[in-house]
């Protein structure tokens, strides 16, 4: 085993963990508390709802609404400067990051000005604006660490995270990034300087700013963790870890101490709020442990995600998507199910719209599938167009108030009776199951129910598998 001093750790702080001067101060203290055992790499999100404001400002700018965007940027500037001055009280005398904040926001104003004149922004300009919050929080966090007597410097992830050119939802180029990450971060760590890296942002090989999609700072942290490589990535958030169910629905829900990568991926895909679906890929392939824990209760251990753990077989967690749309699409008479299914799924695939569940009824060539509510309108359009263009689709039915309840567990595979127990529990409570699907990986079983039955369904499954016990 390596001595503890050699532990390499990436610490990521989300927006609420940096939501105020107080929160930033306690984040800095959490970091300081670890320097005896590690020189961490820190990854930060934008403070609080900064990203939302920046996105709104960019939209307003494109519409030529000067007053709106100016007000939004002005108030972001005020808020951030206020945080700086609150933090200055806590350790007066050190240099303030105010200059950095003014200059980053000046760049945003310039872009908004251009957008107004040209009535539009390019993808990279939009990404540059929306990820400026991370530049601000990195500057403030690095400065706060300095004030605690720790060497730290802000690092713009544009220098180390190389991506493709899909603005707004870019994918990381792992090989190129590995080189950049090591080249930039290793020397800092060797000098015991803590890099404070902006989450969410990256750049193309040509240097154009990109973003990794909303909530993408988790991915920044796990990418750096996997490629540096680090031993562990700790994701500080506002909940105590990944829970057996949404605690707002299930009062007895509790933190799951260990999850496998595959379980975590499955949970993230189906909407567990604490995980970003893209953030689990690289750590899984590089065997880096990811710990999810609360910055508000740092003594709790949180959830550790790693290779498959031996655990009691069966369901580990229940997740739900309350806002789903369920589509039932029939083929015209005489057309085989496979043609109907191929047309429909091909149409969704072409637009990158993921399905939550898919079921088939081959006897009468009907396909039933669910998508998350945000895609509902677009899917309707796609299906209508497919019906006109292909001539194989017949009736299209939509249930707009549907929810999906998903039971997840690695060791469900090959454990008999799980599905029976699950559907038995739903039947016992008179919950009408509209559609059923078993994940192809056999890691999950999903049921579509009416939206108003979601809470009862989640509780029924949670109780049946005794997830709140122990």
Interacting residues with ligand ASP (CB under 6 A): 14-15, 45-46, 51, 133, 199-200, 214-217
Contact window for Mg ion (CB under 5 A) among 9-17, 70-78, 166-174, 447-455? 9-17
3-state SS record for 277-343:
HHHHHHHHHHCCEEEEEECCCCCCCCEEEECCCCCCCCCCEEEEEEEEEEEEEEECCCCCHHHHHHH
- Measure the CA angle with vertex 40, ends 38 and 46; round to 5°: 155
> What distances in angstroms separate CA 129 from CA 106, 210, 216, 293, one per listed residue?
11, 10, 15, 29
Closer of 253 and 264 to ligand ASP (Cβ)? 264
Looking at residue 162, what DSSP letter applies? Answer: B
Closer of 165 and 168 to ligand ASP (Cβ)? 168
Closer of 50 and 437 to ligand ASP (Cβ)? 50
Closer of 45 and 132 to Mg ion (Cβ)? 45
Closer of 23 and 462 to ligand ASP (Cβ)? 23
Closer of 134 and 453 to ligand ASP (Cβ)? 134
Q: How far is the CB of 221 from ligand ASP (least distance, A)?
A: 9
Exposed / middle / buried, residue 395 (Cβ in 10 Å: 0-12, 13-18, 19+): exposed
The residue within the footprint of Mg ion, chosen from 11, 12, 15, 275 (CB under 5 A), is 15
- Which residue from 218, 212, 229, 189 is spatially nearest to 291, judged by alpha carbons? 218
Which residue is it, tokens 């194989």? 392
**Cα(177)–Cα(181) distance, rounded to whole angstroms?**
6
E strand residue ranges, 138-255: 152-155, 194-198, 201-203, 209-211, 232-237
Contact window for Mg ion (CB under 5 A) among 41-49, 171-179, 417-425, 457-465? 41-49
Residue nearest to ligand ASP (CB): 217
Contact window for Mg ion (CB under 5 A) among 21-29, 43-51, 251-259, 271-279? 43-51
> What distances in angstroms separate CA 358 from CA 324, 335, 352, one per listed residue?
13, 19, 15
Which residue is it, tokens 């999903």? 446
Residue 314: which of Mg ion, ligand ASP, none does it interact with, CB under 5 to 8 A by kind? none
Closer of 238 and 463 to ligand ASP (Cβ)? 238
45: contact with Mg ion by CB under 5 A? yes
Q: How far is the CB of 215 from Mg ion (least distance, A)?
A: 6
Q: How far is the CB of 51 from Mg ion (least distance, A)?
A: 5
Instruction: State the number of binding residues for Mg ion (CB under 5 A).
Output: 2
Residue 393: φ, ψ to 5°: -95, 140
Closer of 129 and 461 to ligand ASP (Cβ)? 129
34 torsion bin: left (phi>0), alpha (psi -120 to 50), beta (else): alpha
Residue 97: which of Mg ion, ligand ASP, none does it interact with, CB under 5 to 8 A by kind? none
Q: How far is the CB of 50 from ligand ASP (least distance, A)?
A: 7
Residue 277: which of Mg ion, ligand ASP, none does it interact with, CB under 5 to 8 A by kind? none
Q: How far is the CB of 213 from ligand ASP (least distance, A)?
A: 8
* Contact of 162 with 172, CB cutoff 8 Å: yes
Contact window for Mg ion (CB under 5 A) among 15-23, 28-36, 62-70, 94-102? 15-23
Residues 6+ apart with CB under 8 A from 5: 37, 38
**Cα(274)–Cα(259) distance, rounded to whole angstroms?**
13
* Contact of 204 with 165, CB cutoff 8 Å: yes
Contact window for Mg ion (CB under 5 A) among 10-18, 189-197, 347-355, 420-428? 10-18
Q: How far is the CB of 50 from Mg ion (least distance, A)?
A: 8
199: contact with Mg ion by CB under 5 A? no
137: contact with Mg ion by CB under 5 A? no
Closer of 27 and 46 to ligand ASP (Cβ)? 46
- Contacting positions for Mg ion (CB under 5 A): 15, 45
């Amino acid at each position: 085993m390596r001595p503890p001093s050699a532990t390499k750790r990436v610490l990521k702080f989300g927006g609420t963990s940096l939501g105020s001067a107080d929160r930033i101060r306690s984040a800095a203290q959490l970091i300081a508390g670890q320097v005896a055992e590690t020189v961490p790499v820190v990854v930060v999100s934008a403070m609080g709802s900064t990203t939302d404001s920046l996105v709104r400002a960019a939209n307003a700018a494109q519409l030529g609404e000067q007053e709106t965007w100016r007000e939004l940027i002005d108030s972001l500037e005020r808020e951030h400067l206020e945080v700086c001055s609150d933090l200055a009280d806590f350790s007066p005398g050190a240099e303030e990051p105010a200059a950095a904040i003014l200059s980053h926001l000046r760049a945003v104003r310039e872009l908004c000005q251009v957008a107004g004149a040209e009535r539009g922004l390019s993808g990279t300009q939009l990404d540059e604006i929306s990820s400026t919050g991370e530049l601000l929080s990195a500057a403030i966090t690095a400065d706060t660490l300095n004030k605690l007597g720790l060497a730290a410097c802000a690092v713009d992830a544009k220098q180390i995270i190389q991506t493709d050119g899909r603005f707004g939802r870019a994918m990381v180029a792992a090989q190129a990034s590995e080189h950049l990450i090591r080249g930039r971060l290793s020397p800092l760590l060797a000098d015991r300087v803590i890099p404070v890296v902006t989450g969410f942002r990256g750049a193309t090989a040509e240097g154009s700013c990109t973003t990794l999609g909303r909530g993408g700072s988790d991915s920044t942290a796990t990418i750096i963790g996997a490629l540096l490589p680090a031993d562990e990535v700790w994701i500080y958030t506002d909940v105590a870890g990944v829970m057996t169910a949404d605690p707002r629905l299930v009062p007895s829900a509790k933190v799951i101490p260990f999850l496998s990568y595959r379980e975590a991926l499955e949970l993230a895909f189906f909407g567990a709020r604490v995980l970003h679906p893209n953030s689990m890929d690289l750590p899984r392939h590089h065997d880096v442990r990811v710990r999810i824990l609360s910055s508000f209760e740092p003594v709790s251990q949180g959830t550790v995600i790693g290779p498959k753990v031996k655990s009691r077989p069966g369901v580990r967690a229940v997740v739900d998507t309350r806002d789903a749309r369920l589509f039932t699409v029939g083929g015209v008479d005489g057309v085989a199910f496979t043609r109907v299914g191929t047309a429909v799924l091909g149409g969704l695939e072409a637009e990158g719209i993921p399905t939550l569940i898919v079921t088939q009824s081959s006897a009468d060539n009907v396909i039933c599938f669910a998508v998350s509510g945000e895609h509902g309108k677009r899917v309707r359009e796609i299906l209508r167009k497919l019906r006109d263009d292909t001539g194989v689709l017949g009736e299209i039915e939509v249930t707009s108030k549907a929810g999906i309840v998903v039971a997840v567990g690695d060791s469900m595979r090959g454990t008999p009776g799980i599905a029976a127990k699950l559907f038995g529990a739903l039947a016992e409570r008179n919950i009408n199951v509209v559609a059923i699907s078993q994940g192809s990986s056999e890691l999950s079983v999903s049921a579509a129910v009416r939206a108003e039955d979601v809470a009862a369904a989640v509780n029924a499954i949670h109780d049946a598998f005794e997830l709140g016990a122990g």
